[in-house]
Structures are given as structure tokens and as C-alpha cells.
Amino acid sequence: MSKIKGLILGSAAALVAATGAQAADLPVKAKAVQYVKICSLYGAGFYYIPGTDTCIKLGGYVQLDANVNGGVHDKPAWDNGNNLGLQNRSSDYFTTRTRVNLNIDTRTASEWGVVRTYWASNFQHTTGDGPSSGVLTMDLGFVQFAGFTFGKAISVFQTPWGANPTNLNSSYLIGGYDNSTGISQIAYTWQFGNGVSASVAIEDNRVINRAPIYNGAVAPTNAQLFTGGFTNAAGGSVSPDFVGNVRVDQAAFTAQLSAGLHNIHAGYYGTTEPTGHPSDEWGFAIQGGIQLKNLPTGPGDKLSISAIYTDGAPKYVINGTTGNSFDSFNNAGTTPAFYQSFAVASLLDGVYTTGGSIQKTKVWAVQGGFEHNWSPEWQTGIFGSYVNIDYNDTASAILRTGYAPSLVAGSNYNPDFKIWQIGSRTAWTPVRNLTFSGEVLYTTIDQSSTGGLNAAAAGNAGLFKPAGNYEFKDQGVLSGNFRVRRTW
């Protein structure tokens, strides 16, 4: 009996041991890991990068633009880009652009404050691109640390609303500094509290803020006279632009005063170094703007107004993706002596000729817009601008000499011109972050010349244009844009 009892107890012990061993080998359920942790420090959409104390936000949009009598960037048909200004059968009266934007915003708290990096690029396909081709752009890319900004960012000269006082679609409402694609810079911002701040920056002016310089000793070709795109006599980049602002942000309004210094550095008088060169000049720009909010016309309504004056720095007024010359053809001239009418205008930092100094171009402008919200889904804006470009007597005489050989008898060339614009945009947002909008924009190139210009050979006035006389005359351009944008 004792042997049987011992066998039973031994078997039981063995079974318990085996069971314990098997239990030890079973997988243990792992503790749940939070792969995405919300970061509420910097607003909606941020989350912690796993394993770090850095918050990140991904954003972007997909957008379609369809344009009538305008370029792929909503540009009015006022020049020879895509033969737009020629107004003939070579012109693209209908253009499209599809764009995908991606932006990444990261922020990390530190004893120096928030360390931020930001990057935004566009992938786009436009009229004229191949079936699978397109363009990749880098609009913005910067680091912010302890009040400093390093990299390609919006200029501190620009008002918060830039050239979009009513969320308009167009990139071509001129008359206010437009730098939405950024400029390489080193900037510093002071925050004084109560919405008051001030910023200073040095900016790379090589492309964005520089207009061409005209050397009167270099005779323009007959074809250049019709486009205003003369040989650029600018020298290398020897100095950045120096800019700054003072801004006040309040619930009822935002106001800003901006200023900038711009170096004008020309090449030589002739084709070789011994011919000498004009001394550098310094241009400047001053801009003031105010945006009124909380208007009695309705919630979310805004009225934005800005005014700007420049001396030797015209790209602070007509900039962004706008060119440096404007030429537009229209109907037949007023007499049989002219084949067609046209306007031509050149935007130049300055003008000089052999032995002389650089004559700076003066520009002033006003721009404004009112935006009204009919409901949370419907919005309408009206906007406009007026720009005045003035060349002094010396600069005018130098430019007139270049035109003289091609002028029709009795004509007078005057380089001064004005551009005014007026337009409206209506938008419908049926669901959050999806907007359908339509915009119309009327632009007038108001030139100051009389008489006309002779195209010495076929094609000198533009593609398919015959040789003959063309009459100087103001030109009006009506363009339209339809846009669909989904933001995420």
C-alpha cells in the first residue's frame, strides 16, 4: 500500500513540475505601446515622434487651377510667356496647373525656447509639361531658434496678408510685397508682449528683389524694344538686402511698418574692364499696412490696405513670380498706318550710360481688399491695386535714345507707366478644408508713349507678327481662374 501511495504522490509531483515548466514557456502578453502620442503644446495635428520629445505635424494640399486668358500661375495675359500677350493663334487662352503640396513642421521644447524646423515643397504639373513630367519646388525651409530664423522663409518686409488681402487665387495682384515662396535669410524677432514685435533680417536679393539694370551704351535689338526685356547690365551680388519691421497684432486689427535697403551694383560701361563702371547706389523701400478685423459687416470679415514707396527697389512692389517687363497686343491701330496696337513697359532698378551714374527708378503703389463671409460656407472678396512707375528725366532720355531708331516718325517714347487692377473672388466650402472658388481679374497697362514702333522684320514684334508699324496704346486684360483645393 505504501508503494502504491508513493507512486501516486511521485506522479502527482512530476505532473505539477511539468505543468509549471510548460507555464513558464508560455508567451506573456506584452504591455500595450502607444505608438502615436498626441502633442497638444503647439495646436491641433501635432504628435510626438516615437522615442523623442520632438513634436511633428504633417500637412499639405492638392489643388487644381484652370485659367482663362492667363498663365498657369493665374498671371494675366500681359506678356509673351506662353505667347500670352500676343493675342494670336499661338497664345494659350486656356491653361491648367495641378499642384500637390507637402509640408512638415517639427518643434522641440528647450531651455532656449521652442526649436522649430519647417519645410514645404510643391509637386506640380502644368500646361505644356509632358504626360508624366512636372516640377518640384522648394518654397520654404528654415530653422527657428532663440528668436532667430535661418533659411528660406517669408520676408519680414511682407505684411501678414502679403499680396492676398482677400484670400484671392491670383499670384498677380501687384502693388504689395509678395514673397509667399520665401527668400533665404538670417532674421531675428523681438517679442515685446501685448502683440507688439519687431524683426530685422539680411536677405539674399540675387533673384527675388533685383530688377535688371539698363546700360544705354548697349543698343537694344529691334525685337527687345517690343518686349522691354533689354540686356541686363547688373553686376554680381555684392550685398544682401537689409530689411525690418514693427508689427502690432490685436484682436481688432493688425498693423505693420516695413523698411528695406537694396544695393544696386552694375557692370561696366563697355565690354571690358578698362572702360570703367558707375558707382554703386542704394535703393530703399518703405511699406505700411493695416488689416481691420471684427468688422460690423459680419463675423470673419476683413479689410486690408497697404501702401508702398520705393526708390531704386521696384521689385518690392512688383515681385513674386511677376516678370520684369510687360507687353500686350490687342486690336488694330486707330489708323491704317498701324497693323495692331500694343503696350510695352520695363521694370528696372536703374538706368545708366557711359560716364554717368545709375539713375534709380521710383515706384509707389496702393493695394487693398475687402472680404465678406455670407455664411460659414460662402465667402466673397473684392480687391484692387494701383502702381505708378516713374523714370527721371535723365533715365528717360537714355531709354528714349535706345528706342529712337525704331520709332515711327512723329512718335515719342516715354518709359513711365502705370498698372491698375480690380477683381473679385467667390469661394464655397461645402465641407471642412475643401474649397471651390472662382475669380476674375481685370488689369490695365497704362503706358505713356505716343505714336508707334516699327518692326523691321517679321517676328520682331512676336511670333507670327509681321513686319510693320505698331501703335502705342493702353491695353486691358480680363483673366479668370477656377480653383479646387483640398487641404489636410
- Coil, helix or strand for 290? strand
- Coil, helix or strand for 469? strand
Are β-strands 213-215 and 350-352 bridged in parallel, bridged antiparallel, or unpaired? parallel
* Average pLDDT, rounded, for the chain: 90
Question: Model confidence at 326, in pLDDT bands (50, 70, 90)?
Answer: confident
pLDDT of 268 > 60? The answer is yes
**149 with 186: CB under 8 angstroms?**
yes
Q: Tell me if 398 is assigned to some domain.
A: yes
| Tens-place pLDDT, residues 281-290 | 999 999 999 9
Q: Could you give the CA distance from residue 254 to residue 248 in angstroms, rounded to a whole number?
A: 6
What average pLDDT does this structure show over 386-403? 97
The count of residues in the chain is 488
Q: Tell me if 43 is assigned to some domain.
A: no
Q: Could you give the CA distance from residue 11 to residue 342 in angstroms, rounded to a whole number?
A: 110
- pLDDT (0 to 100) of residue 79: 80
Q: Tell me if 10 is assigned to some domain.
A: no
Grid cell locating 280: 554703386
Element (H, E) at 9: helix 2-25
Q: Tell me if 24 is assigned to some domain.
A: no
- pLDDT (0 to 100) of residue 335: 79
* Phi/psi at 55 (5° precision): -100, 145
Q: Tell me if 464 is assigned to some domain.
A: yes
CATH number of the domain within which 269 lies: 2.40.160.10
| Tens-place pLDDT, residues 155-172 | 999 999 988 888 887 767
- pLDDT (0 to 100) of residue 361: 98
pLDDT of 186 > 70? The answer is yes
Grid cell locating 253: 486689427
pLDDT of 21 > 80? The answer is no
Q: Tell me if 19 is assigned to some domain.
A: no
Calculate the alpha carbon distances from 423 to 85, 285, 369 in Å.
19, 26, 9
Tell me the Ramachandran region of residue 355: left when phi exceeds 0, alpha when psi lies from -120 to 50, beta otherwise.
Answer: left
Which residue has cell 530653422? Answer: 143
Q: Which residues contact 236 (CB under 8 A, 6 or more apart)?
A: 265
| Tens-place pLDDT, residues 276-316 | 999 999 999 999 999 999 899 999 999 999 999 999 999 99
- Coil, helix or strand for 401? helix
Which residue has cell 491704317? Answer: 336
Q: Could you give the CA distance from residue 471 to residue 451 in angstroms, rounded to a whole number?
A: 6
Structural domain of 247? 55-487
* Phi/psi at 442 (5° precision): -110, 130
- pLDDT (0 to 100) of residue 12: 41
Closest CA to 468 of 336, 347, 282, 287: 336
Closest CA to 300 of 381, 371, 382: 371
- pLDDT (0 to 100) of residue 396: 98
Q: Tell me if 472 is assigned to some domain.
A: yes
Grid cell locating 352: 545708366
* Phi/psi at 150 (5° precision): -125, 120
- Coil, helix or strand for 275? helix
| Tens-place pLDDT, residues 347-383 | 999 999 999 999 999 999 999 999 999 999 999 999 9
Grid cell locating 231: 540686356
Element (H, E) at 226: helix 222-227
Grid cell locating 274: 578698362
- pLDDT (0 to 100) of residue 47: 95
DSSP string over 156-174: TTS-TTTT-TT--S-S---
Number of domains in the chain: 1
Q: Which residues contact 25 (CB under 8 A, 6 or more apart)?
A: none
Q: What pTM does this model have?
A: 0.89
Q: Tell me if 418 is assigned to some domain.
A: yes
Grid cell locating 399: 531709354
Grid cell locating 338: 498701324
